Chains A and B, each alone.
Chain A
Amino acid sequence: MSGDLLTPLWRAGPMPSFSLAQWSLLISQARQSRLLARLAVRLQDRGEMAAVPEAPRRHLQGALAAAERQRHQVSWELDRLRVALAGLEGPVVLLKGGAYAAAGLPPARGRLFGDLDFMVPRAQLPQVEASLLAGGWAHEPLDPYDDRYYRRWMHELPPFKHVWRHTWLDVHHTITPPTSRYAVDAGALFAAALPVPGLPWVSMLSPCDMVLHGATHLMLDGELPHGLRDLLDLDDLLRHFSAAHPGFWPALAGRAAELGLGPLLMLALRQLARITGTAVPPADAPVFVRLGQPGALAEALLSRVVRPVHPSCDDALTRAARQHWYLRAHLLRMPPAQLAGHLARKAWMRARTRLDRPAETAPQAPE
């Protein structure tokens, strides 16, 4: 059996009645896409959990327990971070999952965490790094080239891992690589950042910036192992902010234009319209038209790339689409000459690693 059973579930409408064989496939696709707990939350909210056969229901309920546990872990991790960064003077802006959890935003429900992301002004990076190292976090062994690459060209430091808790931290100084054609002025993001209720030591991006960050991540990360999850996070944010703030949609379009992220936002919105049916209200559409329309190729590629990374969802073009997307994302991240040098270097390092050290597990710089 094959076919993408997961993506169609996020449109309005009741859960289809699946056979047990289809449930097996769906659980596998959702588990791989990190959407099992989120699917469980949706079924619960809609009163559909009781209709799920017992065998798959156990997996869904287990995933809810795991997500709940992660929620506790994230708040503990945030608290440890608070202690570690206590001496820091500048702002600390939580990003992505950490911000959703801290602020109790809708995507936090049933979300599984990989790491905790936050952003500080670039000038504070040395102090933050020193505080984290003193607080029990460390970098995994990293090739010197990768380390230099992160520090010189990327919008983040090499990842930190806590030596006892084994939790990961990503420290950013802006939301897109500075070499990118979509480089964003971090000052504008810090200036618009908002306090997080109940956590006076951190802040979060403004609603518009939070959505734009999600969209840039989707478009600029060459590999999207959990692309559907990332899109659904965006969907939750859009629904939540547009319901909470009248004027959110035009504000979003304005901010996208101001930061030069219009095309990336449009591409994400087109995917959401296709997958969840969330769309810009007709009254606000004209301001979005001015942001420009994404190319048909980019749209076609992304539609393939955000399918679950599961063999049952692949067709003859999936592999080519993922490779093309990877290259395209990299061309958006850095100028072609630099990219050619970087990819050649990474290919050489990979080949050398495979020959010399068969069991290397150290993280590598994003390619």
Chain B
Amino acid sequence: MSALPSIVPTAPAQIPRQTESLAASLRGEGWRLRTGPFTYRLRSDVPAVLDGLRSLYAGYPGVEPGGFIDFEVEVRRSGGWRRFVRSQARFRFDGTESFEPLPLAQGYAMLEWAMNWCVSTHVNHHLLIHSAVVERGGRALILPAPPGSGKSTLCAALVNRGWRLLSDEIAVVPLAGEGLLPVVRPVSLKNRSIELIAAFEPAARFSRPAHGTSKGTVAHMAAPAAHVARMDEPAPAAWIVFPRWREGAPVSLVPRSRAETLLALARNSFNASTLGEAGFDRMARLVEACECHDFEYSRLDDAMAVFERLAGQP
């Protein structure tokens, strides 16, 4: 893993007065946050978590007092001797610890991962597909892909070039209705993608990078404020594009059959099998409404041009 250049800005947040209450809520009753259809109550005494939330979640809506909370999430500093030696952050969901602790400095990355985990394992009332989703001109582009395919990098670049962020991780497809639901959250970037996007868009803001995670160095890019403000605006899907980054590859966009697209979506879905027939039908309806492609690229600028053309088509 290459050392990160100083080009990555480290969390100078423009958060004014909310800071005080964020810190106090996190340590006390919990900070109530809504990202699209999902509500969280977050509690933490880990500095990296406060830091990350401060820099990346300033403009997010809260949950009105007495409102429903979908997920109770805690990231806590380990007690006992772990407080002093190799400090750790522990994730608790529904009040119970279900995973191995991570080093304290990875606390914010852990929180982001945990918030995704809550949705991907505990939401079975929408169809969920592991993919990034962006929108332009009222039409959504779904970028499903396994890790390592450059999906999040592509998503981060598109979001900085006129596409609206719906999600970098999970396509939320309501079983009834047409539009995909935004779950606008910071975009997770790994290793070289961090410097790549920082260079691609100098105005982008990032969380402090967490080094040495199971995926290497991880940093999160803030969702643009205008996109956060539109988190309740669904968008119907128009394209399903399977991205693949390959060193030195010329850019190519080739059609993919709907049948193969359906199979690949099923593989990338968190809960299609749980939803059974309803999930299959919804997935089929989604594929029928979309143009489907395979996409390979090595340079972001080339990729942007291809998607620009795609968006320009009637």
Contacts and interface: CB of A to CB of B under 8 A. Distances in A.
A21 B66 contact: yes
Given A21-B66, A65-B275, A311 B125 contact: no
Nearest to A359: B100
B229 to A, nearest CB: 22
Interface residues of B, number: 22
Contacts of B275: 65
A154 interface: no
Nearest to B214: A359
Given A24-B68, A32-B94, A69 B274 contact: yes
B72 interface: yes
A192 interface: no
Nearest to B279: A65
Interface stretch (A50-58, A93-101, A129-137, A200-208): A50-58
Given A21-B66, A69-B274, A310 B96 contact: yes
Contacts of B41: 24
* Interface bin, chain A: 20 to 34
A28 B72 contact: yes
B124 interface: yes
A24 B69 contact: yes
Q: Identify the interface centre among A21, A24, A59: most chain B CB within 10 Å of its CB.
A: A24
Nearest to B82: A354
A215 B135 CA distance: 56
Given A32-B94, A310-B95, A69 B66 contact: no
Contacts of B86: 358
Contacts of A31: 94, 122
Contact of B66 (A19, A61, A310, A359): A19
A66 interface: yes
A226 to B, nearest CB: 11
A29 B96 CA distance: 10
Interface string A297-313: 00000000000011110
A24 B125 CA distance: 17
B100 A65 contact: no
B125 A68 contact: no
Contacts of B67: 20-21
Contacts of B94: 28-29, 31-32, 310
Contact of A68 (B95, B123, B276): B276
Given A69-B273, A69-B274, A69-B276, A59 B70 contact: yes
Interface string A204-233: 000000000000000000000000000000
30 contacts: A20-B68, A21-B68, A21-B69, A23-B68, A24-B41, A24-B68, A28-B69, A28-B94, A28-B95, A29-B94, A31-B94, A31-B122, A32-B96, A53-B68, A55-B68, A59-B125, A62-B124, A63-B124, A65-B124, A65-B274, A65-B275, A65-B278, A66-B274, A69-B274, A309-B95, A309-B96, A310-B96, A358-B86, A358-B100, A358-B101
Interface of A: 19-21, 23-24, 27-29, 31-32, 53, 55-56, 58-59, 61-63, 65-66, 68-69, 309-312, 358-361
